[in-house]
Amino acid sequence: MSKSLNILLPALGGTAIVLALAITMANRNYGGSKIEMLEDRLSTVETRAETADAKAKEQSVRADELAQKVQDVQAKAELVAAGATLAEPAPRNDDIYGLGRTALDVEIIAWDVDVLPGGRGLPEGRGDATWGEEVFVERCAACHGDFAEGVDNWPVLAGGFDTLGDKDPVKTVGSYWPHLSTAWDYINRSMPFGEAGTLTPDETYAIVAYILYSNDLVDDDFELSHENFAAYEMYNKNGFILDDRADTEYPLWRTEPCMENCKSDVKITMRASVVDVTPDEEGSASSAMMTEDHSSAVTTTPEVTPTFDAALVAAGEKVFKKCAACHQIGEGAKNRSGPQLNAIVGRTMGSADGFKYSRVLKEALEEGRVWDAEALAAFLEKPKSYLKGTKMAFAGLKSGQDIAAIVEYLKLFDE
Amino acid sequence: MSDLNQKNTSRRAFLKGSAATAIGVAGTAAAGQTPDPLITEVQDWASYTGVGVDETPYGMPISFESDVVRRNVEWLTASPISSINFTPIHALEGTITPQGCAFERHHSGAIELRKEDYRLMINGLVDRPLVFTYEDLERLPRENHVYFCECAANTGMEWAGAQLNGVQFTHGMIHNMEYTGVPLRTLLKEAGADLSADKWVYVEGADASSNGRSIPMEKALDDVLVAFKANGEALRMEHGYPVRLVVPGWEGNMWVKWMRRIEITDTAVESREETSKYTDVLEDGTARKWTWVMDAKSVITSPSPQSPIKHGSGPLVVSGLAWSGHGKITRVDVSRDGGVSWETARLGKQGDSKALTRFYYDMDWDGSDMLLQARAMDDTGYVQPTKDQLREIRGENSVYHNNCIQTWYVNAEGIAENVEIS
């Protein structure tokens, strides 16, 4: 405050001198007009004095601010000296920057498809478990099994009731999921794996109804729709509690830890080498260090011989992403939910070792039918009409260019 | 305790061999009997010229380091497209994880999304639903922060007992990078979002899995970043190029990659990844949900099964990592005897909040067996628990949030093994 007074005083002093002068002149008995004039002047002077006063106050505030800044800078300098940094968060601006453009309603509709607990956000539609089974077998069973039991390591969707208290709980849609909306939302947005976003609302309702049926939670004539969705209650809806670590764990473990004689007896009770589930390390210290020649980099892409159309192969490699969810190709390729595809061009149909083929492909194997480029192209265009009963859930490639590209790509892997 | 009786893999056989060789050479050199030809003879690299500039416009590690790579445990998942791999933390030092070996976790594979094709929408309870381009994000005030990102399932396989013989596999679902990004609150304000404490911020990715997580408003307004750079360069494809969410101290699944949409809601969405996954089943079958914070944890990265002691007895650097989703690491203790007695380790550098801290325990190894453990403390006073302490409260049904003290059994040959002890 002392600084502001210092600034204020000269201004007030000035005003006092002007006022004193005005009063002296009035006492010397000038004419009435002059008095009027002086009164005018006086008011002007007073106004000016007020302005000066306000300015002085303004300056004092500014002085305060500057003083504060000096203090801040000094404090920071002290912090820096003490080893801290000058990092500051991005400014917390109450104004907005005005960046971004308005999202159009049609854009929001396209992207905002999540469904909230109770079914908020669901589109209209319906489907029953019987139809759901058909859709499921066609679109989902390659990974999840005809009865939602899960193939290989793919998720089991049914059963597992009364296992949640076991060491290896089977957490299925039936036994574990607390909200039906989660199933609808996830299937609609993220499934089928490798073909997300291709199910109609009716198909999604039907699949969800079938999953409930496969969990023995509804009958086969059960129809799920936007109308009865909210009323359906999940088996495990009360099975969740909020994170309670702050009550059950932190008070126990926010203590001064033991440093000496903390336990009496220490024995090894389990060893990872006995369990032996650790992957072998290709390119680990041993193999890298024992290899004499380090100069040649390992290439994983097959060599392209001049007989291949490189551009087409590159395009085919991109198209293959649509297949990669189920099929592997190249060195070390294994059967997944689809057979491995090495040397597929020219291979007998249904002949990948160890893969469980559909009936139609077993028959093709017996007949000795071969995957030549033509057969592959026809199959990839409409898999289910070319081989009726194939397990392959893929709907087919619409573009002839994509088909040509992928066949060219597949030719590369001739082993 | 010294009878290891382990599978005699080529790697282990080799490591034993190299340990013996190393000791031999060192001993000879010390005695000064045979001059070292690496010193007395002119080597090729000291005579011929090396590789010119521009040989590799974007450099890769030298070929001798080719074993420092991410690795996958194939039996864990059905397909590498929906899977996880592990950071080679046994071979890294300091705290920053190079992007090229930072673990990956995808639910529908890593996607190629160009900056030009990138759009970020904010909708829901906002005054102005907006669409941002990548360039828009670059025009907003940004911050730099180092944070760890740990998958909630890190160390998850170890609930049932010692399973995987390597710190890469037991603790490698973690990385630590310096992120550059825009605070999430800036975007929320830009859209005039309802910022009241009972609201949620649902964030969703652009890939086919459309991974989405609900974040409570308090956290969203605190330190969450919309990041577009890591360690000074663009994010890698596998980490969400061009834009990912950074949720400091909270489980990695919430760090939505290829982030395309933010929705302000009045309730948690209860998406698949926050109900059927990333929830923790307790002993009685009930499950904890919304267990977002990663509690304090530490592990010795060397020696460890993939990084055995090759030099024999004498000076030994025990090196490890510690971190806490609640704040800073204040102290790490190390035990050589399976937790009977503890000594306080040295922190490589005062820990940053919600970032990896390196610790060292410099010792003179007498060549006897050790049961090595590390125990972290954070600035809330929390002490990293043992596996038994965790099991006492949670049982053994869980997968996620296993932050137990890890034990490496180191034998007289310097070979380390993942064990569980009484």
What number is the ipTM of this complex?
0.90
Average of pLDDT values for A68-88? 68
Closest CA to A137 of A127, A145, A128, A125: A145
* Least reliable range by pLDDT among A344-353, B96-105, B162-171: A344-353
Q: Do A243 and B131 touch (CB under 8 A)?
A: no
Is the pLDDT at B316 greater than 90? The verdict is yes
A-chain residues within 8 Å CB-CB of B392?
none
Instruction: Let me know whether A119 and A220 are in one domain.
Output: yes
Q: Is the pLDDT of residue A122 over 90?
A: yes
- Angle among Cα A84, A89, A92 to the nearest 5 degrees reads 145
Within-domain flag for A292: no
Q: Which residues of chain A from 144 to 183 reach within 8 Å of chain B, CB to CB? A: 152-154, 164-169, 171, 173, 176-179, 181-182
- B128/A90 Cβ within 8 A: no
Task: Work out the pLDDT band at A12, boundaries 50, 70, 90.
Answer: very low
Does residue A124 share a domain with residue A57? no
Please indicate whether residue A296 or residue B332 has the higher confidence score (pLDDT): B332
Residues of B in Cβ contact (< 8 Å) with A98: 190
Do A56 and A139 belong together in one domain?
no
Torsion of CA A174, A180, A181, A186, to 10 degrees: 20
- Across chain B, how many H-helices and E-strands are there? 8, 24
- Residue B421, chain A, CB below 8 Å: the answer is yes
A-chain residues near B285 (CB < 8 A): 164-165, 169, 239
Residues of B in contact with A284 (CB under 8 A): 11, 67, 306
pLDDT attached to residue B79:
85
Of residues A103, A116, A278, nearest to B131 (C-beta): A103
* For helices A129-139 and A201-214, angle between their N-to-C axes, nearest 10 degrees: 100
* pLDDT above 60: residue A13: no
User: In which order are the strands placed within the sheet that holds B370-378?
Assistant: A268-271, B416-421, B407-410, B370-378, B329-335, B343-344
**Residue to test with chain B: of A115, A211, A240, most B Cβ within 10 A:** A240
Q: Does the predicted TM-score (pTM) go above 0.90?
A: no
Residue A85 near chain B (CB below 8 Å) = no
**Is it the case that residue B185 has pLDDT exceeding 90?**
yes
User: How far does B32 lie from chain A, in Å, by closest CA?
Assistant: 27
Shortest CA gap A380–chain B (Å): 22
**Contact check, Cβ <8 Å, B67/A257:** no
CA–CA min distance B357, chain A (Å): 17
pLDDT band at A283; cut points 50, 70, 90: very low
Domain boundaries, chain B: 83-288, 297-419
Distance, CA of B265 to CA of B269 (rounded, Å): 8
Task: Give me the percent of chain B exceeding a pLDDT of 90.
Answer: 87
Best of A268, A293, A328, A337 to disrupt the B interface (most B CBs within 10 Å) is A268
Are residues A137 and A42 both part of a single domain? no
A192 upstream amide cis, omega within 30 of 0: yes
Is the pLDDT at A19 greater than 70, yes or no?
no
Q: Inspect the interface and report whether the beta carbons of A243 and B417 lie closer than 8 Å.
A: no
Query: How far is it, in rounded angstroms, from Cα B354 to Cα B145?
Result: 10
Given an 8 Å threshold on Cβ–Cβ distance, is A240 in contact with B288? yes
**Interacting residues of A362 by C-beta distance below 8 A, sequence separation 6+:** A350
> What average pLDDT does this structure show over B376-383?
97
Q: Determine the residue of chain A that is closest to B211 in CA distance.
A: A190
For residue B141, give the chain A residue with the closest CA: A90
Tokens standing for B405? 């003290």
Q: Is the pLDDT of residue B13 over 70?
A: no
- Are A133 and A190 found together in one domain? yes
Section A286-301 average pLDDT: 35
Chain A residue closest in CA terms to B7: A273
Q: Supply A151's token pair.
A: 């193939």
For residues A121 and A74, state if they share a domain. no
Give domain status of residue A387, yes or no: yes
What are A30's two structure tokens?
A: 């000038």
Q: Is B132 on the interface with A (CB under 8 A)?
A: yes
The SS3 assignment for B377 reads strand
| Cα four-point dihedral sign B348, B351, B352, B356 | positive
B327 in contact with A, Cβ within 8 Å: no
For the residues A267-283, what does the mean pLDDT come to? 81
Q: How many CB atoms are closer than 10 A to CB A314?
A: 13
Tell which of A225, A254, A278 closes a domain: A225
Three-state secondary-structure class, residue B234: strand
Mean pLDDT, all residues of chain B: 92
Tell which of A159, A191, A225 closes a domain: A225
CB-CB contact of A125 with A225 (8 Å): yes
Q: How confident is the model at residue B124 (pLDDT cuts 50, 70, 90)?
A: very high
- In this complex, how many residue pairs, one in chain A and one in chain B, have their CB atoms less than 8 Å apart? 324
Give the number of other Cβ atoms within 10 Å of residue B26's Cβ: 13
Which positions 187-246 of B are in contact with A (Cβ < 8 Å)?
A: 189-192, 202, 204, 208-210, 212
- Could you tell me if A265 lies within 8 Å of chain B, comparing CB atoms? yes
- Per the structure, the complete domain to which residue A42 belongs is given by 2-81
**CB < 8 Å from A in window 79-108 of B:** 79, 81-82, 107-108
Residues of chain B with C-beta less than 8 angstroms from the C-beta of A173 = 276
Please give the pLDDT value at position A31. 59
Contacting A residues, span 367-396, partner chain B, CB-CB under 8 Å: none
CB atoms within 10 A of CB A98: 7
Q: Which residue of B has its CA nearest to A248?
A: B393
Q: Do A257 and B295 touch (CB under 8 A)?
A: no
Residue pLDDT, tens place only, B279-313: 999 999 999 999 999 999 999 999 999 999 999 99
A285 touches chain B (CB under 8 A): yes
A215 near A172, Cβ under 8 Å? yes
- Contact call for A259 and B333, based on CB within 8 A: yes
**A321 part of contact set with chain B, CB < 8 Å:** yes
**A76 & A139 share domain:** no
Q: Which of A105-114, A332-341, B275-284 has the lowest mean pLDDT?
A: A332-341
Of A225, A248, A264, the residue at which a domain comes to its end is A225
pLDDT of amino acid A4: 43
* A7/chain B closest Cα distance in angstroms: 38
CA distance B196 to B276: 28
Taking an 8 Å cut-off on Cβ atoms, the answer to whether B131 and A266 are in contact is no
> A132 Cβ partners below 8 Å, 6+ apart?
A205, A206, A207, A208, A209, A210, A211, A213
Whole-number pLDDT of residue A83: 54
Give the closest of B160, B169, B393 to A278, CB-based. Answer: B169
Residue of B nearest to A178 (CA): B275
Contact between A277 and B163 using a beta-carbon 8 Å cutoff = yes
Same domain, A220 and A319: no
Count of domains observed in chain A: 3
Q: Out of A117-126, B12-21, B96-105, B329-338, which region has the weakest mean confidence (pLDDT)?
A: B12-21
Q: pLDDT band at A395, cuts 50/70/90?
A: confident
Q: Which CATH class is domain B297-419?
A: mainly beta
Average pLDDT over residues B219-230: 98
Q: A33 lies in a domain? A: yes
Contacts made by residues B60-63, CB under 8 angstroms, sequence distance 24+ = B60/B100, B61/B100, B63/A294, B63/A295, B63/A297
User: Rounded to whole angstroms, how far apart are CA atoms B262 and B284?
Assistant: 36
Q: Of the ranges A46-50, A143-147, B372-376, which one carries the lowest mean pLDDT score?
A: A46-50
- Tell whether A385 and A336 lie within a shared domain: yes
A260 at the B interface (CB within 8 A)?
Answer: yes
- For residue A318, what is the domain's CATH number? 1.10.760.10
Q: What percent of chain A has pLDDT over 70?
A: 81
Contacts of A32 (CB under 8 A, 6+ apart): none
**Whether the predicted pLDDT of A24 surpasses 60:** no
Using the predicted structure, report yes or no on whether residue A302 has a pLDDT greater than 70. Answer: no
Tell me the per-residue pLDDT of B68-113, one tens digit each, with 9 for 90 and over. 999 999 888 888 888 999 999 999 999 999 999 999 999 999 999 9
Residue B14's pLDDT band (boundaries 50, 70, 90)? very low
**Percent of chain A clearing pLDDT 90 (strictly above):** 44
Does position B2 have pLDDT exceeding 80, yes or no?
Answer: no
List chain A residues with CB under 8 Å of B11: 280-281, 284-287
Percentage of chain B modeled with pLDDT above 70 = 92
Contact A250 B79 (CB under 8 A): no
B-chain residues within 8 Å CB-CB of A273?
A: 4-7, 165, 417-418
Q: Write out the CATH class of domain B83-288.
A: alpha beta
